[in-house]
Amino acid sequence: MTSSLRLDSLRKRQALVLGRLRKKREEFAKLEQEVDDIQWELEEYKYPVLTLPKEIISRIFTHFRSARRAPLLGRYSPLVLAQICHHWREIALNTRTLWSSFIITLLPHKSSTASMSTLKIVNLFLERSDPVPLSFALVCEGKHDSPYVYMVMELLASHSSRWQHVSLCMHPMPHLNAIDGPMPLLHSLTVVSRKNNGAMIRFPDVPKLSFDRDSYTDIIPWYQLTVMNLESIELRQFVTVLRNCQLLVHCRATIAPVKTSHEDEVYFKALPIIHLPHLQAFLLLRWKYHLAERFTLSLDSYGNLALLKLRLPALQLLEVPECMLGNEPINALAALIARSGCALQELCIRDGGRTLMEPYEDAFPNISKIFFGTMDMTGRGVFEDDSEEWADGTESEDD
């Protein structure tokens, strides 16, 4: 009797425990289902930025690069965007314009391994941007005459048909001989000899742009350029180039000093009228130099612009050293304006302080802004991109 009662008690306890277990399992099943539901919602959820069409994200990526050229590596390199997630990587790799604007900085005494790594990255940018027009700057810090520089130039030249806005700062200049091929899209060109400890190379050891001898000058389509910025070029060589720039809108050149010969004066006087119908901004600056020992240089070593017959009907902004206007600078300017029939709005006379401003103001009452010193280019957006890529070789206002 006692055994039977104990057996019934155990069975009741078992039934209660099983009932409790069943309820726990039901609760557990509900929790598992809830977890699955939450997981499904998480998987279906998309961050707002990921819901944007690929085209919009691609446009945002292009603005990330900003108006300035992107470095090959670092915070503002497009490589950063390709490392965020798989989705962004796919969009970045297919946004060709993202890879079409860049700056290459080559340092001297760089290891061969690092040099080849940079070369591979440059090739990567070129492949990913193809066939979009290219805007790039090549900056060689210091004297960089290794074969590696020539390899970079050859690689860039292999895509010369896509060159649109090009800035080159290098020494020695023979590296430019790697340029070979047509450049049908080229619109703006900046050529700088080199930097030396943050400033341009000192005179008289200035490597000139020898347009009469170097073969690469026959390849550059000067007639296509709308913007041109040349550093350390003799006036005679500059005029040779200028005569072929019929579409030029903005021009800036630093004129290298050289002993002006009688032959040069005869050459300038014999030239026909140089007609540049679209030129609006014309900046001629003196090259910044430090005289070597036993070397003398007079101000007329930069050449006499008054000997040229320039016709610039669209000219609005002119900056020129007074020393390049000859013995009668006001008469030279008056002849230029009369010949051009232009409505000049701003006139900046370099070397200010050696003469008075009043004679210029009296002679040109229709020019709204006349001043001495340096032209304020802030906000003009013509040559600003290059100004932060390297320091130019022009004089400071106090020179």
* Residue 285 included in any domain: yes
Which residue do the tokens 């989705």 mark? 87
- For residues 382 and 119, which has the higher predicted lDDT (pLDDT)? 119
Query: Which one-letter amino acid corresponds to residue 109?
Result: H
How many C-beta atoms surround the C-beta of residue 269 within 10 A? 11
* Residue 191 included in any domain: no
pLDDT at 49: 65
pLDDT at 256: 77
- Percentage of the residues of the chain whose pLDDT score is greater than 90: 18
How many C-beta atoms surround the C-beta of residue 314 within 10 A? 16
pLDDT at 171: 58
Predicted TM-score (pTM) of this structure: 0.67
Tell me the per-residue pLDDT of 158-214, one tens digit each, with 9 for 90 and over.
998 999 888 887 655 556 667 777 888 888 887 775 443 333 333 333 333 433 334
Q: Which of 48-57, 59-68, 242-251, 377-386 has the lowest mean pLDDT?
A: 377-386
pLDDT at 195: 40
pLDDT at 317: 93
* Residue 51 included in any domain: no
pLDDT at 387 over 80: no
| Reported confidence tier of residue 110, pLDDT bands at 50, 70, 90 | low
pLDDT at 219: 65
- For residues 191 and 156, which has the higher predicted lDDT (pLDDT)? 156
Tell me the per-residue pLDDT of 309-365, one tens digit each, with 9 for 90 and over.
899 999 999 999 888 888 888 999 999 999 999 999 999 887 654 566 778 888 899
**Mean of pLDDT values over 135-139:** 89
pLDDT at 276: 95
pLDDT at 145 over 80: no
pLDDT at 37: 85
CA distances from 312 to 242, 267, 268, 327, 335 (A): 12, 20, 17, 22, 11
* Residue 37 included in any domain: no
pLDDT at 9: 83
pLDDT at 292: 41
pLDDT at 52: 74
pLDDT at 5: 78
By residue range, what is the domain housing residue 333? 244-290+299-399
**Mean of pLDDT values over 235-262:** 83
**Mean of pLDDT values over 108-114:** 68
The 3-state secondary structure of the chain, one letter per residue? CHHHHHHHHHHHHHHHHHHHHHHHHHHHHHHHHHHHHHHHHHHHCCCHHHHCCHHHHHHHHHHHHCCCCEECCCCCCHHHHCCCCHHHHHHHHHCHHHHCEEEEEECCCCCHHHHHHHHHHHHHHHHHHCCCCEEEEEEECCCCCCHHHHHHHHHHHCCHHHEEEEEEECCCHHHHHHCCCCCCCCCEEEEECCEECCEECCCCCCCCCCCCCCHHHHCCCHHHCCEEEEEEECHHHHHHHHCCCCCCCEEEEEECCCCCCHHHHHHHHHCCCEECCCCCEEEEEEECCCCCCCCCCCHHHHCCHHHCCEECCCCCEEEEEHHHHCCCHHHHHHHHHHHHCCCCCEEEEECCCCCCCHHHHHHCCCCCEEEECCCCCCCCCCCHHHHCCCCCCECCCCC
* Residue 40 included in any domain: no
Which residue do the tokens 């977890």 mark? 35
Q: In angstroms, rounded to a whole number, what is the distance separating the alpha carbons of residues 129 and 123?
A: 10
* Residue 200 included in any domain: no
Tell me the per-residue pLDDT of 61-107, one tens digit each, with 9 for 90 and over.
777 766 678 888 888 888 888 888 888 888 888 889 889 999 998 87
**Do the Cβ atoms of 206 and 230 come closer than 8 Å?**
no
The total of structural domains in the chain comes to: 1
pLDDT at 397 over 50: no
* Residue 367 included in any domain: yes
* Residue 351 included in any domain: yes
Q: In angstroms, rounded to a whole number, what is the distance separating the alpha carbons of residues 349 and 369?
A: 11
